[in-house]
Chain A
Amino acid sequence: MSATIVALKPEAAEPVVAAESKTVAPPSSKAETAPVAGKARQRIMNILRSITLAVLPPIVGLAFFILIWVGISMVAPALPGPAKTWVSAVELFSDPFYQNGPNDQGIGWNILNSLQRVGTGFGMAALIGIPLGFVLGRFKFVNDMASPIISLLRPVSPLAWLPIGLLVFKAADPAAIWVIFISSIWPLVINTAMGVSKVPQDYLNVARVLNLSEWKIATKIMLPSAMPYILTGIRLSIGVAWLVIVAAEMLTGGVGLGFWVWDEWNNLNVEHILIAIFVVGIVGLLLEQALLLLAKRFNY
């Protein structure tokens, strides 16, 4: 683009300054040859610089983090340092899917079991929360009806719901899923309702002029228009669910990252607790990034 501009400019200027063409010619020929060689080099430099600027800060940050970790582990010898944790992690991940009875299973099984609980709890929350949010956003009366209850229940700590789950389901596993469900449903309901109530008036006017049926309005106008909000709700909701699962599993037991952390605490295997923290963080990060990628697709 910029190369064509450079090439065009002298031509366009020529008729205007035809009388002084001799004085114009030298700079124009220089402008065509010199930057072409220089430009390629400059472009490579620019790419290199942008890569460096993108990669360098996280690496420096990570280095600082590890340095501080080493420092703390030197002051408090009970806390294993990075090297010790790394060795332990390599050993742990070399056989992720072994099974030695219900209380001693590979890290892979723990991750998969936690993910499955989150998936089930979140899935049910989405199945109920998104349609519920839709109705709340569409009908003001229902919204006014539900909003005091939602405001009351939303700030309750997720674990406060655990005894209710244990009472009703009389088993640990459904109770953990119940906790995931109840704590991840609120962002879904609230964001969906917000998205539906914020559908631009322009689109609603189109719907009114076309006299679309309520079903068509919901599927062709409201849902696509609210999609970015709903996806934000899903992202927040999965974030909460992943946050809560460790705590819920610590209390309910079984196979899963939370229970594993507690088990390793009882074994005083601090390396494994640190590994669990990293695993929880990395899985959460991956979930978040995957959903962000999905959200980009729906950005009109």
Chain B
Amino acid sequence: MEKYVSLEYVDMVFSGRQGKFCALRDVNLSINQGEFVSVIGHSGCGKSTVLNLIAGLLMPTDGVMLCAGREIAGPGPERAVVFQNHSLLPWLTCFDNIYLAVERVFGSTEDKPSLKKRTHEALALVGLTHSEMKYPNEISGGMKQRVGIARALAMEPKVLLMDEPFGALDALTRAHLQDELLGIVQRTGSTVVMVTHDVDEAVLLSDRIVMMTNGPAATVGEILAVDLPRPRSRLELAENPHYHHLRGEVLRFLYQREAKAA
């Protein structure tokens, strides 16, 4: 396994109206190809900032960021993002939302039927073939997020970045989509970085969990390797003592070491 994404001594300072705010200091993180890494921490700890940095939507004030051996200089389709609020374009159908991304990535090398095929495959992957001609405001929140995931996956990114992808969903839909994501990642072998505040979600999905200290000047506190065998099943894990041990480790970090008053 090679080092695929790496952050070295990354600092992020925001200059706002009330002066400078140091969000991240000396963040070091390396992610291997095919690895599923979760970033967890209390709200305001800068975990979304880490993701936006890898996405290239923000530029670090100091430090080096590499992806597949090249410096990250800005956003690009090889680092697809699944946004928290799905960010589908409301004037395009589900199909067209995905097609826009597919056309951008593969449009110069492939013909139209092939682009359409890719779009259909992406929709089938998340089980939404039947609503491809619907507009985003005609489908449920869970379905929107699935279209967002399909859009990101259809780009065949080197790294899939997910910013609290299931945060806005109800518990049942969330569990359902987590299981779906587990299967999709298993099949595609994607490299994934996911920001979350859900301990169960992190343990269920990840190979490693990056636990962030509280801000300001947040950094990586601990990294927990989740050595549960794959494929994983939610029901089997519920009775697995090692799963509960790992879950306890994350909880201890969040509520003991980095305890935070609301």
Contact = CB atoms under 8 A, between A and B. Distances in A.
Contact of A209 (B81, B89, B91, B92): B81
Interface string B80-111: 11010101011110000000110011000000
A206 B77 CA distance: 10
A202 B104 contact: no
Give the interface size bracket for B toward A: 20 to 34
B79 interface: yes
Given A220-B89, A221-B89, A211 B100 contact: no
Contact of B101 (A202, A203, A210, A224): A210
Given A208-B75, A209-B76, A210-B104, A203 B57 contact: no
B81 A212 contact: no
A300 interface: yes
Contacts of B101: 210
Interface in B50-86: 55-57, 74-77, 79-81, 83, 85
A211 B76 contact: yes
A206 B57 contact: no
A211 B104 contact: yes
Contact of A206 (B79, B87, B91): B87
B137 A300 contact: yes
Given A211-B76, A211-B77, A205 B87 contact: yes
A210 B81 CA distance: 9
Contacts of B89: 203, 206, 220-221, 224
Given A203-B87, A224-B91, A210 B137 contact: no
Interface string B30-64: 00000000000000000000000001110000000
Contact of A220 (B55, B81, B100, B137): B100
A210 B100 contact: yes
B104 A212 contact: yes
Contacts of B85: 202
Contacts of A300: 90-91, 137
Contact of B77 (A205, A210, A220, A221): A210
Nearest to A212: B104
Contacts of A208: 56-57, 74-75
A164 to B, nearest CB: 40
Which one of A209, A216, A227 has the highest number of Cβ atoms from chain B below 10 Å of its Cβ?
A209
Contacts of B77: 209-211
A205 B92 CA distance: 16
Interface in A188-210: 202-203, 205-206, 208-210
Chain A binding surface, main DSSP class: helix
A81 B140 CA distance: 59
A204 to B, nearest CB: 10
Contacts of B81: 205, 209
A203 B101 CA distance: 13
Which one of B55, B83, B87, B101 has the highest number of Cβ atoms from chain A below 10 Å of its Cβ?
B87
B219 to A, nearest CB: 25
B137 to A, nearest CB: 7
A202 B83 contact: yes
B83 A211 contact: no
Interface in A165-206: 202-203, 205-206
A220 B100 CA distance: 9
Contacts of B79: 209
B245 to A, nearest CB: 37
B88 to A, nearest CB: 8
Contacts of B56: 208
Interface in B137-177: 137, 155
B83 A205 contact: yes
Contact of A205 (B57, B74, B91): B57
A165 B216 CA distance: 63
A45 to B, nearest CB: 34
B48 to A, nearest CB: 12
B96 to A, nearest CB: 9
B155 to A, nearest CB: 8
Nearest to B88: A206
Contacts of B76: 209, 211
Contacts of B83: 202, 205-206
Contacts of B155: 210
Interface of A: 202-203, 205-206, 208-212, 216, 220-221, 224-225, 227, 300
Interface of B: 55-57, 74-77, 79-81, 83, 85, 87, 89-92, 100-101, 104-105, 137, 155
16 contacts: A203-B87, A203-B89, A206-B89, A208-B74, A208-B75, A209-B57, A209-B75, A209-B76, A209-B81, A210-B77, A210-B101, A210-B104, A210-B105, A211-B104, A216-B104, A221-B89
The 8 closest A-B CB pairs, nearest first, are: A300-B90, A224-B91, A208-B75, A202-B87, A209-B75, A210-B104, A209-B81, A206-B87
Given A211-B76, A224-B91, 13 more contacts: A203-B89, A205-B87, A206-B89, A208-B74, A209-B57, A209-B77, A209-B79, A209-B80, A210-B100, A210-B104, A216-B100, A216-B104, A220-B100
